[in-house]
Chain A
């Protein structure tokens, strides 16, 4: 200890001695005399700050107003069916009698609601195993260039416009379904297959994020216990990512539920309760797309379509809510 203190003393003394001999002569700018008054007065910067904050806040408010306007307008027109035209809400939700031109007792949207949910759920069910497999492949099995290639392919898949998917559906899927199952080739199955491809990249990329978020140590410690790769994946990776995979699937479903044109081109557009997967049907979006131009603003047939739009909007809010719910729990 004494030795150490001596050393310390030496170091300090050396350092202090060195301090006293600055070797270069200093020339440079002098500090300015601070004008104390300026410290208490607003300046150009104060004004800039107010301006910048105000301007950007305005942009935010604009977006807020926009969403309120969308919900307000669609809500107002969508509710007109029930308020002005006195259509019973239960009739609208559960009846399959859709012929709004014939009066308020023929505004049953059940067939479209069921079809919308059917294509959405089926597409998600088919896409999920593929998405998980691709995501596992990209995070657990390969690395480097191959991941990047697959990733940019997936991004490309997201980028392909939905009408192009609709067109491929018409060219490839419809004839294939017709050849295998007979009938027209239009229907839930065709729409489902198209939506499967469309939601695949959405679910996959979010699942990849989920897997990447799991700390490497968890995998290592599992491997250190002698677990095989699959055991690690099954017991550690999939379990830890469970809630985020659910979120990914819901995002995919939201995309499928709201997709309009690709579905409208492939589903046949007949407002019938689907009794099998290969008969023509209609979803909320396909009906909106094909009929909005054929009705007159303010009439019951038009209001009924707005009610379908309102339903879409509500479902979109529900999907959002579910994502938040899972986020909180997970």
Chain B
């Protein structure tokens, strides 16, 4: 794959109105000099799921974590991130408000060692929500949205750590949704889960698509093809190809993309 830079590539573009969030020439540097991401410009269409695929170290997670400025503490991020016609990759941007608008779910389920209810209400309370009735309602709604309500409605005050891995991950989604974000970023949300939990999680995501824009990093090609409308392929810190999932999987332009997809399926 030495000549990867010469490969044919296609990057799908959307108009700004179609996009929930988009990046322009996004580059990420670690430790001042080590560049992990090279001028990535991608737009993510509203109310769709976009899968980011690519080998380990291809920069897809780095890219995802830059979108809600989670890399601020460890890396320098150049370029712009457009969100509501505003470049949110500026120091004057209030990252706390930004992260409330762009939720994130991580690779490993990371519920707080608190009760299920508190996991969801903790951030709300920090935002000044005090009305107990309202909070209970949000807990119920977000757990329902995350398809977890039926399983936990009788034990909301038990520790979240007692849930199974799959339930914990859906709780993390519920926790993110409770803040009513516009966008959900998912960093390999199913990689630590068993097949049954994964299926449930995918179901949940498919339903959430109606209202949220989701960007999901995944190693699992089947998963990408099962639930995403669009797919971007990352290679060595570059976004090499971006198109509808159908096109990427059935008719990839570049040789590397094709090899990666076949290798990962085979």
Q: Which residue of B lies closest to A17 (CB)?
A: B226
Kindly list 20 other residue pairs between chains A and B, CB separation below 8 angstroms, not including A16-B245, A31-B212, A32-B180: A8-B266, A11-B222, A15-B222, A19-B226, A19-B227, A24-B203, A26-B145, A26-B210, A28-B177, A28-B211, A29-B177, A31-B181, A31-B182, A31-B211, A34-B182, A39-B97, A40-B86, A43-B94, A45-B96, A46-B96
Task: Kindly identify, within residues 186 to 221 of chain B, every residue whose CB is under 8 Å from any CB belonging to chain A.
Answer: 203, 206-208, 210-212
Say which residue of B86, B211, B226, B245 sits within 8 Å of A36 (CB atoms): B86
Q: Report the bound CA distance from A46 to B99 in whole Å.
A: 13
**Is B98 at the interface (CB under 8 A from chain A)?**
yes
Interface residues on B, range: 35 or more
Q: Report the bound CA distance from A30 to B225 in whole Å.
A: 26
Say which residue of A30, A39, A43 sits within 8 Å of B88 (CB atoms): A39
Q: Which residue of A lies closest to B228 (CB)?
A: A19
Instruction: Give the one of A18, A26, A44, A46 with max B CB within 10 A.
Output: A26
Q: Report the bound CA distance from A252 to B178 in whole Å.
A: 55
Q: Are A4 and B266 in contact (CB under 8 A)?
A: yes
Q: Which residue of B lies closest to A28 (CB)?
A: B145
- Report A1-34 CB contacts with B as 1/0, cut-off 8 Å: 0001101110110011011001110111111101
Q: Are B180 and A30 in contact (CB under 8 A)?
A: yes
**Is B29 at the interface (CB under 8 A from chain A)?**
no
**Is A145 at the interface (CB under 8 A from chain B)?**
no
Q: How far is the CB of A2 from chain B (nearest CB, A)?
A: 12
Q: Are B208 and A28 in contact (CB under 8 A)?
A: yes
**Is A41 at the interface (CB under 8 A from chain B)?**
yes
**Is A293 at the interface (CB under 8 A from chain B)?**
no
Q: A9-B250, A16-B246 are in contact. Are A30 and B226 (CB under 8 A)?
A: no
**Is B141 at the interface (CB under 8 A from chain A)?**
yes
Dominant SS at the B interface? helix
Say which residue of A24, A26, A30, A46 sits within 8 Å of B94 (CB atoms): A46
Q: A39-B98, A39-B101, A40-B93 are in contact. Are A28 and B226 (CB under 8 A)?
A: no
Dominant SS at the A interface? helix
Residues of B close to A23: CB separation below 8 A? 203
Q: Report the bound CA distance from A31 to B210 in whole Å.
A: 11
Instruction: Give the one of A22, A32, A39 with max B CB within 10 A.
Output: A39
Q: Report the bound CA distance from A126 to B67 in whole Å.
A: 61
Say which residue of A5, A29, A41, A46 sits within 8 Å of B145 (CB atoms): A29
What 9 A-B pairs are tightest by C-beta distance, nearest first? A28-B145, A45-B96, A32-B180, A26-B207, A15-B225, A15-B226, A12-B249, A29-B141, A36-B84
Residues of A close to B98: CB separation below 8 A? 39
Q: Which residue of A lies closest to B92 (CB)?
A: A40
Q: How far is the CB of B71 from chain A (nearest CB, A)?
A: 17
**Is A146 at the interface (CB under 8 A from chain B)?**
no
**Is B119 at the interface (CB under 8 A from chain A)?**
no
Q: Are B227 and A39 in contact (CB under 8 A)?
A: no
Q: Report the bound CA distance from A19 to B244 in whole Å.
A: 14
Say which residue of A5, A22, A30 sits within 8 Å of B211 (CB atoms): A30
Q: Report the bound CA distance from A26 to B206 in whole Å.
A: 9
Residues of A close to B97: CB separation below 8 A? 38-39, 43, 45
Q: Are A27 and B144 in contact (CB under 8 A)?
A: yes
Say which residue of B94, B145, B211, B245 sits within 8 Å of A38 (CB atoms): B94
